[in-house]
Amino acid sequence: MPVIAVAALAVVMFAVSSLVTCAGAAAAPPRGTPQFSSAQDILRWINAYRLKPTPERLPGAVKAMSALALFRDLDSSGVYIGFMAGVLGDNPDRADKLVSGMFPMPPEDQVAIVRAVAYSGLADWKGLLGRFAERMPARKVLIERHLEGKLPTLETVPLASNAAALDALWGYFFATGRMAPVDRIIEALAWAKDGNDVEKLTTGSMAKWTLANNALQNKDLLDHLKAEKVTRPKAIALQLDEIIEAAETYETSKIRKEAAAAIEELKRKGPDSTRKFTYWGMAGQTALALGCVVAGALGHVEIAVPCVIGGAASSAALRLLTPQ
């Protein structure tokens, strides 16, 4: 069953006009394969990918993402970068060809390639990144920091106050079906009841809501959450109980409402918390407006719903969790 569901968000339409074809015969899709002319096209492919992997289409998808400006705000491009990383990680023998096919790429969008390689989990990801360093001179410092181990991998990227990291973990899951990224998202549930830090509370709430919405659509994921409940600390196990109940009863809106109430209560505790929430909430909403993922089109082509991967990507969850 598809892992991408539609949530009720304010409609933000993406105007698209460019059709980007895949460069490089080595990574070109078979003749007659539909190309990507919109974010909806990309997300249809992402939605179906795990059922029928077509990694040869990744370069064309990445170039379309660039043309559609989906990388321009890194706070809202995490799901794309994570998906790219997952496809590379699942195809070590083709990784060089796949990355090569992504070029030429505007310097400002090369960050997505660098991070996707670094997040891929490939045994030789540093070697892969080094082999393409000369093609990305504008990203020299970023590449060096990754090669020196001064920037995190997807397994170590901090999750607190980092919606893009949660989205990247979901993107990797969409590409591979592996549960390791889900397990990291589960760890963030430790903050779902945080009474001292609004950012952690919101991150934990986003993790909780996205897990519930994805589990509602994906039985394998739901079964995994049930298994994890047995092994996790009590605080996280209690959150998993609520997630499983919400997924099985199709009552995920309850999680959103409870989280919004908790955030509002914590806001009222003092001006420091209020300032922190106001800044972070507005930053997330700006990212949402500038470049969020359109996923409503996966099931309803006539509707473009921003940032709803798996029922709610983290940056979308941030907006819905923001008390109005």
- Between 248 and 310, whose confidence is greater? 248
Residue 147 has pLDDT above 60, yes or no: yes
DSSP state of 313: -
> What pLDDT, on a 0 to 100 scale, did the predictor assign at position 31?
58
Name residue 192's beta-bridge partners: none
> What pLDDT, on a 0 to 100 scale, did the predictor assign at position 139?
97
CA angle 162, 168, 172 (to 5 degrees): 155
> What pLDDT, on a 0 to 100 scale, did the predictor assign at position 281?
40
Spatial separation of the C-alpha atoms in residues 3 and 184, rounded to whole Å: 18
Question: Mean pLDDT across the stretch 118-134?
Answer: 98
Q: How many residues does the chain have?
A: 324
Residue 323 has pLDDT above 50, yes or no: no
Say if residues 53 and 264 touch (Cβ distance below 8 Å).
no
Name residue 36's beta-bridge partners: 20
**Chain segment 165-176, per-residue pLDDT in tens:** 998 999 999 999
Split at pLDDT 50, 70, 90, the class of 310 is very low
Split at pLDDT 50, 70, 90, the class of 195 is confident
Distance in angstroms between the alpha carbons of the first and the last residue of the chain: 33
> What pLDDT, on a 0 to 100 scale, did the predictor assign at position 288?
30
Residue 121 has pLDDT above 90, yes or no: yes
Weakest mean pLDDT among 12-16, 112-116, 210-214, 220-224:
12-16
> What pLDDT, on a 0 to 100 scale, did the predictor assign at position 211?
92
> What pLDDT, on a 0 to 100 scale, did the predictor assign at position 262?
75
> What pLDDT, on a 0 to 100 scale, did the predictor assign at position 91?
98
Neighbours of 57 (CB within 10 A): 25
Question: Mean pLDDT across the stretch 260-280?
Answer: 57
The pLDDT mean for the chain works out to 77
Residue 25 has pLDDT above 90, yes or no: no
Say if residues 189 and 207 touch (Cβ distance below 8 Å).
yes
> What pLDDT, on a 0 to 100 scale, did the predictor assign at position 253?
81
**Chain segment 53-99, per-residue pLDDT in tens:** 999 999 999 999 999 999 988 778 888 999 999 999 999 999 999 99
Question: Mean pLDDT across the stretch 117-135?
Answer: 98
Residue 112 has pLDDT above 90, yes or no: yes
Residue 114 has pLDDT above 50, yes or no: yes
3-class secondary-structure state, position 36: strand
> What pLDDT, on a 0 to 100 scale, did the predictor assign at position 48?
82
Instruction: Give per-residue burial for 263-291: e unless 16+ CB within 10 Å, then b.
Output: beebbeeeeebeebbeebbeebeebbeeb
Closest to 199 in 3D by CA, of 230, 158, 154, 243: 158
> What pLDDT, on a 0 to 100 scale, did the predictor assign at position 270?
46
> What pLDDT, on a 0 to 100 scale, did the predictor assign at position 34?
65
188 to 95, 183, 200, 307: CA distances (angstroms) = 31, 9, 8, 20
> What pLDDT, on a 0 to 100 scale, did the predictor assign at position 315?
56
